[in-house]
Amino acid sequence: MKKINTLSPREKEIAELLAWGASQKEVADHLYISESTVANHKQSIFSKTGCKKVNELSAWWFCHRFRIPMSLSPLARNIVATVLLTFYLFGTINTVSNHQRVRVRPRISNSTRARRNENRNEKQLNIYAA
């Protein structure tokens, strides 16, 4: 496996999108290029990195991106990848759940709401009667 410096800026961009699981069509739509251009870049990336599949490219990209040595055993790489993924997901889930918890007013029951409406109606009648 070769270093990431051998890739052109466009190839790095396409490699990153493919590593995150985007299809060729999604990459083409995102970068406003044709699918055949993405396929050509993908073949160039595979030849420069020594990868043969998208899964290998994904592992290669994440190892280079997060500076995980490729010399690690597969078990150690899986452990490191799992830890990084856990941190990433925990941060994402924590952020989303905090936004969902924000409330302006507490919920009230239907009976309380009905009682409040009755009180308002009575006050309005008293205003008209006076």
Domain definitions of the chain by residue range: 1-71, 72-103
From CA 41, how far away is CA 18, in angstroms rounded? 11
pLDDT of residue 109: 73
E strands in the chain: none
Structure tokens at 22: 């985007």
Torsion angle (degrees, nearest 10) of CA 22, 26, 27, 31: -140
Decide if 63 contacts 70 (C-beta within 8 A).
yes
DSSP state of 109: -
Match domain 1-71 to its CATH number in 3.30.360.10, 1.10.10.10, 1.10.1380.10, 1.10.3720.10: 1.10.10.10
The reported pLDDT for the residue numbered 77 is 73
29 pLDDT more than 70: yes
Q: What's the pLDDT tens digit per position in 80-114?
A: 778 877 777 776 555 444 555 544 555 667 777 77
- Reply yes or no on whether the pLDDT at 2 is more than 70: no
* pLDDT tens digits along 50-72: 889 998 888 888 888 888 777 77
